[in-house]
Amino acid sequence: MNIIKLFLIFIVILLVLCCDDQNSLHKKEVKNSKNIYDIELRNRTQELSRQNRGSIQPYVNNPKYWQYKEVPILLLGASDEDNLFNHPDIWPFGLKSHLDLMVKNGGNYVRNTMSSRDHGNIWPYKVNEYGLYDLNRWNEEYWNRFEKFLNMAYERDIIVQIEIWDRFDFSRESWSRNPFNPKNNVNYNSNQSGLEEVINTHPGKKENRFFRTPPGLENNELILNHQNSFVKKILSISLKFPNILYCISNETNESPVWSDYWAFFIHNVAFQNKVLVHITEMKDAWELSDPQHASVLNKPDLYTYLDFSQNSHQIGQTQWDNAQWVRTNYLENFPRPMNSVKIYSGMAHGGGFEEGAQKFWRNIFGGFASSRFHRTGNPFDPGGIGLSPLAQNQILSMRMLTDEMNVFLCSPSNHLLSNRESNEAYAFAEVSRQYAIYFPNGGSVKLDLANAHGNYSMSWLNIMISEWQHAESIDGGKIIELHTPGDGPWVALIKKD
């Protein structure tokens, strides 16, 4: 009897050890398969970069920035709407005029959500005689608007950052009108789809199961098939153009499984069409060290650039410091462009108009590859300054500065400044060759030119009137003191003779 017990115990131990080995092997296989897929994505991107040299892509000599038509570019922009394609008659003179005004002031970058919730917008699906949408039939006017807009942007060398899913279309009043709402279409009801007809909460509460359809979440094939068709339709148009960047969602806090599914989906469709694409996900957290952002930061082959628009909820020195934390901890090993397709400038979101203008400059001096003013939205509670005269002025002045220096050789350089108060000044430099120091509101600081020997010229840019002051000569090889010529925002540009 004792021998039988010992034998049974021995068998149990063997089974446990066997299971542990299998689990360990499975974990290794999963890890290895992920690494293999990362390598495959990287190889695909490199191959497509060679085949699509003129497309928007990270700058070959400094992948923290972009290049387009094989020339490095800095992306600056503003617009009065986030879904520009769905506003062909945007005030006051229509979409072409709106884009031309931005370009005239040095802009080359816009945001385009695929949203339909604003007054006068149309949805992507046809409506039957009973007022119900058919998710198997397209509204051609919606798609014609989209393609016309992309063509306008292409003709003007404007880079378009598309956001596929805007969560604000899927909650509250917007959800009540959305074609995907079971009550609004002929394709399914609430029981069949698992989707609620009424959602009255902010989308950050994550009550809409629409964002949990992929395998690994709820695997809702009924809804996912319609989602797949929608994204394929977008790509059937957008992949024709070389000036497009892709962002999965607008400020999402949904599961990374949702984001990863669509990132892989877009990569695969693009690869099948031999088109180079660059994709990111915009996370909702305002703090860049929040774990939300890690799901994008830690996947540089899947998410080939970053968008930290939510960092523009931060104000002053904090906005700068957050971005520098990312540069130090992530971009040194895996350099990628950092974009900011939204700069919040409202009183409720962003600290006000003056603060919004400062964020625009802190972004670029902080090493961002793009900076764009967010739409105004509600005029009584604006989210941004849109393409207002203030935005036009800021873009024009920034372009005047960057036309006089090679920003693609520069990096954030606040370590060269001393006698500086918080948020008083910001340095951007190619040490010993060129230095730009931005003052948000006047002031004086010391700049270390001890290792920069020789003669230099120094000019002051009055940002608010977009005007250069007369240049003066200065000697390097020492610490110099800079005093702004007046109050308000200024930039000192120091260049080697």
pTM: 0.92
| In a shared domain, residues 269 and 331 | yes
The residue out of 368, 403, 438 marking a domain boundary is 403
Same-domain check for residues 265 and 216: yes
Residues 486 and 359 occupy one common structural domain: no
Q: Specify the CATH number for the domain of residue 151.
A: 3.20.20.80
> Is residue 26 over pLDDT 50?
no
* 33: pLDDT strictly greater than 70: no
Query: 315 with 437, same domain?
Result: no
Same domain, 137 and 89: yes
Q: What is the pLDDT of residues 252-291, one digit of tens each?
A: 999 999 999 999 999 999 999 999 999 999 999 999 999 9
Are residues 440 and 309 located together in one domain of the fold? no
173 and 93 within one domain: yes
* Domain-ending residue, one of 403, 429, 460: 403
Q: Give the pLDDT confidence of 358-402 residue by residue, as tens digits.
A: 999 999 999 999 999 999 887 777 899 999 999 999 999 999 999
Q: Are residues 431 and 367 in the same domain?
A: no
- Judgement on whether residues 47 and 59 belong to the same structural domain of the protein: no
Domain that holds residue 25: 1-51
Cβ atoms of 478 and 450 within 8 Å: the answer is yes
pLDDT at position 349: 77
Q: pLDDT tens for residues 69-121?
A: 999 999 999 999 999 999 999 999 999 999 999 999 999 999 999 999 999 99
Local confidence band at 21 (pLDDT 50, 70, 90 cut-offs): very low
Tally of structural domains, the chain: 3
Q: Are residues 326 and 388 in the same domain?
A: yes
pLDDT band (50, 70, 90) for residue 36: low
The reply to whether 334 and 210 lie within a common domain is yes
**CATH number of the domain to which 492 belongs:** 2.60.40
Tell whether the model's pLDDT for residue 312 goes beyond 50.
yes
- pLDDT single digits (tens) 289-307: 999 999 999 999 999 999 9
Tokens 């005269």 appear where? 389
Q: What is the mean pLDDT of residues 171-183?
A: 98
pLDDT at residue 243 above 90? yes
Residues 17 and 74 in one domain: no
Average model confidence (pLDDT) across the chain = 93
> So what's the pLDDT on residue 492?
98
